[in-house]
Structure 1
Amino acid sequence: MGLPVNVGVIGCGVIFAQYAQTIERLPELRLAAVADLDHERAREAAGRYPGTEALTVEELLAHPGVDVVLNLTIPAAHAEIALRAIAAGKDVYGEKPLAATTAEAAEVLRAASAAGVRVGCAPDTVLGTGTQTARKAIDDGLIGRPVAATATMITPGHERWHPNPDFYYVPGGGPLMDMGPYYITSLITLFGPVTTVIGAAGRTRAKRTIASGPRSGEEIPVTVDTHITGVLTHASGVMSTLVMSFDGEATTSPRIEVHGEQGSLVVPDPNHFDGPVQLARPGADPWETLPATAGHPDAGRGVGLADFATTPPGDEPRASGALAYHVLDVMESLLHAAATSTAVTVASTCRRPEPVTGLPGAATTAAT
């Protein structure tokens, strides 16, 4: 595939602008076309980016000038759009999760394999300097053998700011399916795949009230658990404790904290690309801030798409479909473990993604 890679976007909702801005500034990508069920919204989106066509979904999938389909639809439509793109012979990269269920995601991966096309998936925030600097610190032995981690996300729920938050509270939504991919992808980047999970889950109320936009004051039903906690055991032996909640106001806990035999790390919010990585070791001042030593500096949503689109044939991109499938499998397994009060073996596995190394001008961490 020649450069720049021509990207066709399906779904021009809230997240579209962030991807479009990244595509515009990366020379390896070009925003060729956009489509949305609301064609007027597609026209408005295309108008902000010269040279971008506003098409119907059918026209975009059939367009010979589109190399990769960027699927930014709602989670319930991820599998349908991915399968249609694959049937059209296009590589497809989607927003997280890969699909609403592992059954749908498996169908997507099987179809892509049969068609000889590739599937990639967000999140790509783990490719920034935050998670990658923490990974390098771990790989360089700065905390010795990693033993455990905690990952915490607590918010009051997206209905406070999102004008149409319904999909956050139906199957495929909830704090785990919505935000879990960021945290679990980061944990897998740091420690490798997950083998078993245990967990518990619940919900505080049956309805939520929209607080902004034209539907402000409208109540929507809640049909998924809104507080989930679990323990993930990685193949490497690390045990990660995960808390995902729409039932609290805020938290002062670090988003991810890693503990090893010779030290501890604070890892920045995996919903962001950067942030300080802090290290505590015996005999040193607590929580030394490490310089950024790995990852894409000044990254934005879409850097994973660029990695996907430019990865040579036969190599696995960092934001791969296989990784996204494993993350989804871990989340489904955790929900099953919570519902049945049992330990659940995660059926799938994946490769630990390759690190993003060679940050220009950065210092090199080394074990001491």
Structure 2
Amino acid sequence: MGEPLNVGIIGCGAIAAQYLATLPTLPSVNLVAVADLDPDRADAAAKGQEGVRALTVEELLADPEIDTVLNLTIPAAHAEVSLRALNAGKNVYGEKPLAASTEEARKVLELASAAGLRVGCAPDTVLGTGIQTARRAIDSGLIGCPIAATATMVTPGHERWHPNPDFYYVPGGGPLLDMGPYYVTALVTLLGPVTSVVGAASHTRSVRTIGSGPRAGEAVPVTIDTHVTGVLVHDSGALSTLVMSFDAVQTRSSSIEIHGERASMVVPDPNYFDGDVSICRLENRDGGWETLPSSAGYIGAGRGYGLADMALAPADGLHRANGDLAYHVLDVMESLLEAAGSGAAVRVQSTAARPEGVPLMSLTSSEEVTA
């Protein structure tokens, strides 16, 4: 590609604000229009964005100026909106997960392939200096051969802060499909694709109460498991233990730890782009930890950097936050839920290449920085 993308956003909910703050800083992205089923939300999103028009979804899809749709709808609508955008001849970059199921996601990738269009998908947090510095340390052999990892995310539930949390507690939601993409994408980026999984899941409450906004006090039914744990077997032989919960109160565990033959590593929260990477070396007899300097990744990144990375990718190359990676991550999570339901190990049918590492650089100036 290599040319600026003319982007139209479909879906102006809570996450849109983060993209709207970032996109104007990226020379490879030109935001043209926004749309939402609620016209007032589209108007509010366009306000203050110079040259950005508020349109209906149909108008945005028909607009010949727009070559790429940024799909920020709820997870249940991801596949439908992406398919409509692809049928309109537009590339798609979407929020995670790629779709509510691998069956839906497969249709998106097949249509894109047939039409010669690109599909990208969040999370792009793995492109920031946090995960990329950890990736570079692993690739350089700093921790030796990776043996195992742990990934932990616990919260008592998003209904405490989100004014419309319903979609978190229906199929396509839950802690694994909502927050799991950050952690599984990070684990695949660091350790490679997953070949099989085992797991278990549970839920403690059948109703959640909204804690903020105009619907505060309203009850939301829970129809999915809200605590999921499992073991991911990577193709490399490394084992990752995953805990994702909307039931637990708090944890003192690191978001991600990687354990190698020569060192253990603490990796920053993959829900963010930056953060410190620390290691404890085998030869360090006092067990002290040292912080590594940032050595890779997009500096000062924010949501939308995956879209900019897609714009900068060569026509015959693959952008990093790509559809194949997002499909594999979804397949891993779907397989984990299947394993939790059956009590048996499940083979992950898909695979994906680890995306190329990101050198330490700024996308606002497209300049590489010497680490």
* Alpha-carbon distance in 1 for matches of 2:117, 2:263: 43
Deviation of residue 39 (structure 1)?
A: 1.1
Residue pair 2:98, 2:105 contacting (<8 A) in 1 also: yes
Q: What do the CA deviations read for 1:121-167 (whole angstroms, capped 9, x no partner)? A: 00000000000000000011111000000000000000000111000
TM-score under structure 1 length normalisation = 0.97
- Equivalent residue for 2:345, pick from 343, 346, 360: 343
8 Å CA contact 2:278–2:291 kept in 1: the answer is yes
Letter of the 2:14 counterpart? V
Matched residue, 2:364: none
1:68–1:309 CA contact under 8 A, matched in 2: no
Out of 322, 325, 329, the position equivalent to 1:323 is 325
Corresponding residue of 1:139: 139
In the TM superposition, structure 1's runs of 4+ consecutive aligned residues that sit over 6 Å from their partners are: none
- Matched residue SS, 2:37: coil
Tell me if the contact between 2:298 and 2:360 (Cα under 8 Å) persists in the aligned partners: no
Aligned ranges 1:127-206 → 2 under 5 Å: 127-206=127-206
Distance 1:77 1:52 in 2: 24
2:365 aligned residue: none
Aligned partner of 2:124 in structure 1 is: 124
Unaligned runs of 5+ in 2: 362-367
CA-CA distance at 1:361 after TM superposition: 4.5
Partner of residue 366, structure 1: none
Q: Does 1:22 align with 2:22?
A: yes
Q: What's the secondary structure of 2:156's corresponding residue?
A: coil
Q: Kindly indicate whether the alpha-carbon contact (under 8 Å) linking 1:255 and 1:269 is maintained by their aligned counterparts in 2.
A: yes
Deviation at residue 2 of structure 1 after TM alignment: 6.6
Query: Cα RMSD between the aligned structures?
Result: 1.0
The total of aligned residue pairs comes to 363
SS at match of 1:352: coil
In structure 2, the CA distance between the partners of 1:137 and 1:76, relative to structure 1 (3 Å rule), is same
Q: Assess if the C-alpha contact under 8 Å between 1:292 and 1:362 holds in 2.
A: no
| 3-state SS in 2 of match to 1:96 | coil
Q: Supply the distance in 2 between the matched residues of 1:286 and 1:241 (Cα, whole angstroms).
A: 24
Map 1:1-368 onto structure 2 (within 5 A): 3-284=3-284, 286-359=288-361, 360-363=368-371
Residues 2 and 311 (structure 1 numbering): CA distance in 2 closer, same or farther, change over 3 Å? Answer: closer
Q: Deviation digits for residues 217-257 of structure 1, max 9, x if unmatched?
A: 11111000000000000001110000000111111100000
* CA distance in 1: counterparts of 2:278 and 2:271, whole angstroms: 17
SS at match of 1:149: strand
Q: Is the 8 A contact 1:291 1:362 kept in 2?
A: no
What SS is found at the alignment partner of 1:199?
strand
Q: From the superposition, tell whether residues 47 and 2 of structure 1 become closer, same or farther in structure 2 (CA, over 3 Å).
A: farther
Q: Verify the 8 A CA contact 1:198 1:337 in the aligned structure 2.
A: yes
